[in-house]
């Protein structure tokens, strides 16, 4: 077998494996979409059908009247947008200081901060709740925003990108009279669009899909998010699976839009930050 044929065979096998992997990844999502258009009895019927005999489009109408889904969606969008914006600002600002500003103990401080990634949230969940309770911030969006405003992973991600920026650019800015704040806002941030897009996607998805945080801190119905709303379709004695899947499909749409919209920058950001899968 010639070298060209070997390369062609390898490509064919690679494409087949990628197609199989893609199909395996998309199958649960397709099942969720299919189930959202079925009745409860059809979802787990023995005679499984990908395409329902009768499309239950009414499921997408019922979910708005069964629970205050509009309120939950508004709360989720508000919290996700605010927290994502704050995380991008705080992470990029700290990352610039850890990468381009020289001060005593910088590397040790960065190491200690990043090491907090290894601490599970369950370890400090109770102390955190106790602290928020003393500040009377339980069952408030303000308390949840404050808890999520800083992320060690975001600082690590942004720092990896800032480290790749030439110091000559910043030195030129200092010669022109820019302060460190000026270098950050006028040079570092405009050049870090791929990294910011990557950080935005990570933060948006994490906050949008967060379930445990809102479950613990939000008691009032008016404060709850869409993830808690989906749980309301799951009762003690019966579960409306069609409505659960319909609400899940709707909750997935913003995440897909954000990812597809920033996919180009996301790939560039992952490559430039040096993160490996």
20: its two tokens: 């199989």
213: its two tokens: 């945080």
Residue 203 banded pLDDT, cuts 50, 70, 90: very high
The whole-number pLDDT of residue 277 equals 44
The whole-number pLDDT of residue 88 equals 93
Stated as kind and residue range, the H or E segment containing 160 is helix 152-162
**pTM beyond 0.75:** yes
CATH number for the domain running over 57-273: 1.10.3720.10
Q: Using DSSP, how many helices (H) and how many strands (E) does the chain show? A: 16, 0
Contact between residue 208 and residue 202 where contact means Cβ atoms under 8 Å apart: no
Interior CA angle at 201 toward 73 and 274, to 5°? 165
Q: What sign does the CA torsion over 198, 202, 203, 205 have? A: positive
Interior CA angle at 212 toward 43 and 34, to 5°? 20
61: its two tokens: 């109408």
Residue 276 banded pLDDT, cuts 50, 70, 90: very low
The region, left, alpha or beta by phi > 0 then psi within -120 to 50, assigned to residue 139 is left
43-56 pLDDT tens trace: 877 777 888 888 88
The whole-number pLDDT of residue 274 equals 47
Q: pLDDT exceeding 90 applies to what percent of the chain? A: 29
Among candidate residues 86, 83, 73, the one with its CA nearest the CA of residue 254: 73
Count of CB atoms within 10 A of residue 245's CB?
A: 23
The whole-number pLDDT of residue 267 equals 63
Q: Rounded to whole angstroms, how far apart are CA atoms 14 and 72?
A: 43
232-262 pLDDT tens trace: 887 655 678 888 889 989 998 888 888 887 7
Give the residue carrying structure tokens 């939000």.
218
129-159 pLDDT tens trace: 999 999 999 999 999 999 999 999 999 988 8
Among candidate residues 202, 214, 205, 203, the one with its CA nearest the CA of residue 252: 205
Q: Rounded to whole angstroms, how far apart are CA atoms 183 and 263?
A: 27
């Amino acid at each position: 077998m010639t070298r060209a044929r070997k390369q062609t065979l390898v490509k064919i096998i690679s494409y087949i494996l990628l197609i199989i992997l893609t199909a395996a990844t998309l199958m649960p999502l397709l099942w969720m979409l299919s189930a959202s258009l079925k009745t409860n009895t059809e979802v787990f019927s023995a005679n499984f059908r990908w395409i329902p005999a009768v499309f239950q489009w009414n499921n997408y109408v019922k979910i708005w009247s069964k629970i205050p889904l509009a309120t939950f969606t508004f709360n989720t969008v508000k919290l996700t947008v605010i927290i994502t914006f704050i995380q991008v600002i705080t992470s990029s600002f700290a990352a610039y200081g850890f990468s381009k500003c020289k001060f005593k103990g910088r590397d040790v401080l960065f190491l200690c901060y990043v090491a907090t990634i290894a601490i599970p949230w369950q370890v400090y969940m109770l102390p955190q709740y106790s602290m928020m309770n003393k500040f009377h911030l339980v069952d408030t969006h303000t308390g949840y925003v404050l808890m999520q405003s800083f992320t060690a992973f975001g600082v690590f991600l942004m720092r990896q990108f800032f480290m790749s920026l030439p110091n000559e650019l910043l030195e030129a800015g200092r010669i022109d009279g820019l302060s460190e704040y000026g270098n950050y806002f006028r040079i570092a941030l405009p050049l870090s669009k791929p990294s910011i897009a990557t950080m935005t996607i990570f933060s948006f998805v994490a906050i949008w899909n967060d379930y445990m945080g809102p479950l613990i801190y939000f008691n009032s119905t008016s404060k709850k998010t869409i993830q808690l709303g989906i749980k309301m379709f799951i009762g003690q004695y019966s579960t409306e699976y069609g409505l659960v899947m319909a609400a899940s499909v709707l909750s997935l749409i913003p995440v897909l839009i954000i990812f597809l919209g920033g996919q180009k920058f996301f790939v560039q950001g992952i490559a430039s930050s040096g993160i490996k899968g």
